[in-house]
Structure 1
Amino acid sequence: MTGINAHVRLSASALAVAVSIMTMSASELRAQTAAGAGNESHDIVVTARKRAEALTDVPVAVSVLGSADINRYAAADLEKISGLAPQVSVTRGQSGGGANISIRGLGSGSGDQALEQTVSINLDGVQVGRGRILSTGMFDLQQVEVLKGPQALYFGKNSPAGVISLTSQGPTDSLSGYVRSGYEFVADEAFLEGAISGPITNNIKARLALRGRYMKGYLVNTAEAGPNPGDPRYPASGAYRKREPRTKDLIGRLTVEYDPGPDTNITLRVLGSTGDEGGFTNTAQAICFTNPPVLTTGGVVNPGSECKLDRYFQSGGLPEGFPLDGFPHAKSDGRPFQTTNTWLPSLTINHDFGQVSLTSVTGYFDMDFKGAGNSSYTSLGLIYSTIGEHSKQFSQELRLNSDFDGPLNFTFGGYYAHNSMTGYVASAQIFRKIVPDPATGYSMTFSRATSSSGDTYSGFGQLRWNIFPNVELAGGVRYTREHKEASTGNVYVHPNAANIFAPAGLFLSNSRTESNWSPEFTATWHPVRGQTLYAAYKTGYKAGGISQPSVVTLNFNKDNLLFNPERTKGGEVGYKAELMNGRLRFDLTGYYYKIRDLQVVALIASNSSSFLTNAGVARTQGIESSVNWTISDAFSLRSSIGYNDAKYLSFANSPCYPFQTAALGCVGGQQDLSGRQLVRAPKWNILGGGTFTYPIGSDMEFTATADVKYTSSFFTQDNEHPLSRQSAYTLIDASARIEIPSKGLEFAVVGRNLTNRYYRVVQIDTTIGGQNQFGAFSTRPREISIQASYKF
């Protein structure tokens, strides 16, 4: 199915299902409810409006993943977890913010350190906008909620495209825990994790969870040592490691829950992680669309470098003997590395005054990232770079929520956050002979430093009016005021590069203060128990700021680094039903949103620099539906389908891609992307799967599960180079497990991407590369793993 006709057919069929369900007589539904009285409830509880509500009742488009869903395919990071939810894309990036996160095709790129994500990550109530949170493993989770569309009222300061909310497992009332270990054969990846939980005193409970992992890597680096045609003084070193991305990490979480009285609960969580992933470019493969296939850097041909996306690639280390004097945080031997250390403590206090409850969430986020690698993605390693950032955030949220017996209830609160970040980038262009700087002795091309800080003040409120027992009208607004300051510039520039880079010591500094009102209105109708029909008008906002490009060239000044706020406005209509005593859940949502001044990363092809700018107007519209059917205790089916038409309505000033001519649409260094599909915004996302459980004897169960995911084609590059379109692909995941409940034992075999499909999720132009040559970041190929766990 393609095009508008497919859209119409999908809409018609989905609406027909909804109408058929709604036209069932009320007596039939009451009969079902009565027949199921006393049976186990299948309600899924969510906190999309910061209070416990049944999934079917809440008037929000939300996809929910429980611990069983997450563990089904051993998903222990946000990239894998996001693959289980429809119309969600989460991938890492090389530079800048370090991530590309989108929902329904709306999201942010990764090429600028000033970039906050359009989709926010909320971990145990603490909102994080820094994309490099993706480097932190996520395990021992109770639930993941993906809230789609603008989320202005309930999560942090504001999220124009949605929120991924993660809730960790809490302490238990009795002593319990688990140990789980696994091994993946393709990447030679081993992990060990576990948790212990239980009471310490009558009113204190605690949970300690730890996870360690080591991986040799799923890519084979075949770069060989030899002569360096770029600079014969420094021979090519070849591959530093034969397998990439070599990874080792450790993550732990301590949760302590204190109940000083029947009306008060205090929960302290401390998350800490440390990881070394071998290099920030060590999963990038150089690909080309040339005949014959050849890769160049600054005109120098890279011998032996292949041009296709597969398990084999060539990424040379720093050429032998090249001096690293002055390079910030480079290893003495120039080896590629990437370390990320994260701390995220939070304190949540809940106090019940009777019909009004008060919640306080205090959070602190500290992340230090450093890395070095080959930014040419080729065998010779002709561009060596280091990059790093240290981000800190303190946040405080207070929220009052009422639960009166009458028709009127409210939520009111306030939010404050202070953010700071320091970062650096340094690079050496070894594709040409570099004479040491006579003043410093340095051979690097440039070294750039940046710093920024910001304060956010926000107040929010919502009134909910049950005009009838089954009809609710809700209206609310969030006011936000943000102040940002930033300074960026070069601390060193080699004399030979003075005609390209801004002079050392010239720092471009600016500040920006702005405010916003983001209203939201929702009408909800429950025609009968277990059904919800809602309509919502929603808005979202993300503040503007000061771009902090990785490369500060002569064309930048303090004013053209400013970018405008991003604003989302639109609405959606949704229908949800829970039938057959909760065994069948169905939902259908139609949505339409316009985004003004979408923040995008623009590349200047002439000097390979990039900066944050604004597209004119973008739009996303579509329809999505999911069905979950528990046919019996032994067999269940799940499916979802989404059609999403996300495109630029106006974006006339997008920078051209390298070698783009006037005949190809490049006029005055700009191209018009109006009417083009947004980046990483496939029109079709279709998922389907099932789980089968079969008893073996009196105390053993066998469970088999399989899921198929189809994704249509999409652009992978911000400048929408025609060769950056990834074709449609289909993925198959499957697992089988045997459980012995009485002994707490479980053994599993898990397969992901069983079709072994290599596909691009992010593509960038190679630095000083030839025409139609790119660096491509792909997801992992086929994974086959075994794991065993013991629960007590």
Structure 2
Amino acid sequence: MMMKRICQGAAVIGFSALLAMPPAHAQNTEGSTLGSGDIIVTARKRDERLLDVPVAVSALSQEQLSRYSNVTLSSISQLVPQLVIAESQNQVGGSINLRGIGSGISNPSTETAVTLNMDGVPISYGNAIRLGQIDLGRVEVLKGPQALFYGKNSPGGIISLVSQDPGRDLEMKLRTGYEFNADQRYVEGVVSGPVTDKLGARIVAYYSKEDGWFRNVAVPIPNVTPGPAAKTYNAEDIFVRGTLNYNPAGGGAIFKGKVAYGQRTRDGVGPTGGSQIVFCPGGVSRLSGAIDCKLNRNFYSVIIPQRVTALDPTLEDGVPFVKSTQFLSSLAIDQEIGSDFTLSSVTGYYRLGEKSVDPFTFSNVPYFAASNDIVADGFSQELRLATDFDGPVNFLAGGFYQDAHFKIRQAFGVDFGAPFLVGSTYYDVHTRATSVFGQTRYKLLDDLELAGGGRYSWERKSLTGTSFGSTIDVLSPKRNYHDFSPEITLTYRPNTNLTLYTAYREGFTSGGFNTVPATLRSAANQTLPRTDLSYGQMTARGGGGGA
């Protein structure tokens, strides 16, 4: 299957008011000046010039994101070499691949090998890529194994998304636009500024409505989809985020709280609505000889017959749809302890909800029917203590905890003359993850630094579920995973405009359970010996250098 969007033209109208621009200089932890022309990143949890960071990292500034109207992770990946992000047409939601490393898209409960990190909160679900990311201050893509600075360990890399904060001056922005090919209309608004001399607030809202860029060539669904040759694959997106910053003078604790909600809805088309069968042997598809097997934005959207929807209530009325919602809240606290220590806390809660009904067809005949109802939520807490001594030695130490559930209810039916329910499953994968980490940096010379550290991780996962209403009795319903991931970096800075480094790093992500519906059904119907649905953890080792 292939999906492609062709954008032939767009118009954008914008208005903004920015009063009293703030100074564009700051100090990093090494004492050098950060100028207005520098790209500032926090790849090591402190403000540094991109030029000074001994990590393979690609960074996108707010100006770059705004210039190209990058409001989705898929569009952001087009600006980062070696990063590929795409939606998948199944319950996994999507895939993230960095330097060729990623997770499969067949098992819905698999955690991604490349971790998203939104305002300090790690997110390991592929479905998260389906919603837009609005009003970002910067994006940092760290390539290769990452163990130290972003909560959960990652074998493939980190995509860090940092939303904009309120500034010291009033800012108001309103932008609207129109995209011709999909008939998309959108509007985005921002209000930001100080509430008091210690408190700042920022509110951003986004709304988009598009009629689609694919043509439905199937028999139309009354009052749901347009007729043959009509453009469809519509979408409605809503996003809102609120931010509060409390920054008292005199060295008190700095608080930063963020709450974000996003929603995407497609009516009359399921997850496979944007898929096409192409490059068929002999030019004819095995599913339907009527398909032209060309990438031409033609697709089929048909209603599921009542004789099939009667097999399982989750198929509802048989009209295809997809609806995704996401909620993310985070609270970051930084407290200086004396002049040499900083204690930091990041508390996060993330919830994903997604429902869909899909005929999974490429013809006027709906041979298949599927439904997905996903709820994923998790709480996380990270604590860090960092030093800023004048001497040659500094360190960072901390811990991380996560408690998360991934729940999914699925039904899958077929109709080749007589309707048959292939699977009806529900499962819950519960994850408890704990880790401790630390790093020591030692200046061998004024321009030569050696840094070494690692993270030790413990994760426990358990599986419960039912198949056709019966409890699944499987071997090893609980699994424990643990790993130590070290890293060491040697950095040489002969002058302020050149950094040379070499590094060795390891990464890890825990295993889990094979929760593909057909596998659960087979396990439920199987007599002893029971099937072991668990699989092992993933580890990665990487070394390299850069200038």
Shared fold (TM-score, shorter chain, > 0.5): yes
Return the offset for 1:288.
4.8
In the other structure, the counterpart of 2:271 is 280
Partners in 2 of 1:295 and 1:341 — Cα distance? 35
Helix, strand or coil: the match of 1:56?
helix
In the other structure, the counterpart of 1:677 is none
In the other structure, the counterpart of 2:375 is 390
Report if the CA contact (8 A) 2:464-2:472 is conserved: no
Report if the CA contact (8 A) 1:484-1:513 is conserved: yes
Return the offset for 1:328.
4.1
Aligned CA distance change for structure 1 residues 325 and 347 (closer, same or farther; 3 Å): same
Matched, 1:46 2:76: no
Helix, strand or coil: the match of 1:101?
strand
Report if the CA contact (8 A) 2:60-2:139 is conserved: yes
For residues 260-271 of structure 1, what are the structure 2 equivalents within 5 Å? 260-263=248-251, 264-271=253-260
Aligned CA distance change for structure 1 residues 164 and 240 (closer, same or farther; 3 Å): farther
Partners in 1 of 2:114 and 2:33 — Cα distance? 41
Helix, strand or coil: the match of 1:526?
strand
In the other structure, the counterpart of 2:11 is none
For residues 268-347 of structure 1, what are the structure 2 equivalents within 5 Å? 268-278=257-267, 279-296=270-287, 302=288, 304-319=290-305, 321-325=306-310, 327-332=312-317, 334-347=318-331
Return the offset for 1:489.
4.0
- In structure 1, give the amino acid aligned to 2:487: E
Partners in 2 of 1:311 and 1:225 — Cα distance? 16
Select which of 503, 507, 511 maps to 1:544. 511
Return the offset for 1:175.
1.4
Matched, 1:116 2:111: yes
**Superposed CA offset, 1:177-204 (max 9, x none):** 2001011000111111111001112211
Aligned CA distance change for structure 1 residues 554 and 427 (closer, same or farther; 3 Å): closer
Helix, strand or coil: the match of 1:163?
strand
In the other structure, the counterpart of 2:203 is 208
- In structure 2, give the amino acid aligned to 1:309: L
Helix, strand or coil: the match of 1:60?
coil
**Superposed CA offset, 1:25-66 (max 9, x none):** xxxxxxxxxxxx999652211101111111111100000101
In the other structure, the counterpart of 1:723 is none
Q: Percent identity?
A: 34
For residues 579-590 of structure 1, what are the structure 2 equivalents within 5 Å? none
Aligned CA distance change for structure 1 residues 292 and 559 (closer, same or farther; 3 Å): closer
In the other structure, the counterpart of 2:142 is 147
- In structure 1, give the amino acid aligned to 2:101: L
In the other structure, the counterpart of 1:351 is 335
- Supply the RMSD in Å over aligned alpha carbons: 2.2
Helix, strand or coil: the match of 2:331?
strand
Return the offset for 1:514.
1.9
Aligned CA distance change for structure 1 residues 225 and 415 (closer, same or farther; 3 Å): closer
Aligned CA distance change for structure 1 residues 469 and 305 (closer, same or farther; 3 Å): same
Return the offset for 1:569.
1.0
Q: Which runs of 5+ in 1 are unaligned?
A: 1-36, 227-236, 297-301, 435-442, 493-503, 576-792
Return the offset for 1:141.
0.7
Aligned CA distance change for structure 1 residues 316 and 538 (closer, same or farther; 3 Å): same
In the other structure, the counterpart of 2:98 is 103
Aligned CA distance change for structure 1 residues 328 and 484 (closer, same or farther; 3 Å): farther
Select which of 351, 357, 370 maps to 1:366. 351
Select which of 570, 574, 586 maps to 2:546. 574
**Superposed CA offset, 1:96-129 (max 9, x none):** 4311101100011222122100000000000000
For residues 111-510 of structure 1, what are the structure 2 equivalents within 5 Å? 111-224=106-219, 242-263=230-251, 264-278=253-267, 279-296=270-287, 302=288, 304-319=290-305, 321-325=306-310, 327-332=312-317, 334-353=318-337, 354-434=339-419, 444-491=421-468, 504-508=470-474, 510=477
Aligned CA distance change for structure 1 residues 240 and 346 (closer, same or farther; 3 Å): farther
Kindly tell me the number of residue pairs found equivalent between the two proteins. Answer: 503
Aligned CA distance change for structure 1 residues 200 and 40 (closer, same or farther; 3 Å): closer
Partners in 2 of 1:392 and 1:239 — Cα distance? 39
- In structure 2, give the amino acid aligned to 1:565: Q
Aligned CA distance change for structure 1 residues 195 and 248 (closer, same or farther; 3 Å): same
Q: Which has the larger radius of gyration?
A: 1
TM-score with structure 2 setting the length: 0.88
Aligned CA distance change for structure 1 residues 239 and 420 (closer, same or farther; 3 Å): farther
TM-score with structure 1 setting the length: 0.61
Helix, strand or coil: the match of 1:80?
helix
Partners in 2 of 1:369 and 1:406 — Cα distance? 52
Return the offset for 1:554.
6.1
**Superposed CA offset, 1:514-534 (max 9, x none):** 211100000000122210110
Aligned CA distance change for structure 1 residues 410 and 305 (closer, same or farther; 3 Å): same
Return the offset for 1:259.
2.0
Partners in 2 of 1:177 and 1:507 — Cα distance? 57
Aligned CA distance change for structure 1 residues 542 and 489 (closer, same or farther; 3 Å): same
Matched, 1:514 2:486: no
Partners in 1 of 2:108 and 2:473 — Cα distance? 16
- In structure 1, give the amino acid aligned to 2:393: L
Return the offset for 1:261.
4.1
Report if the CA contact (8 A) 1:143-1:166 is conserved: yes
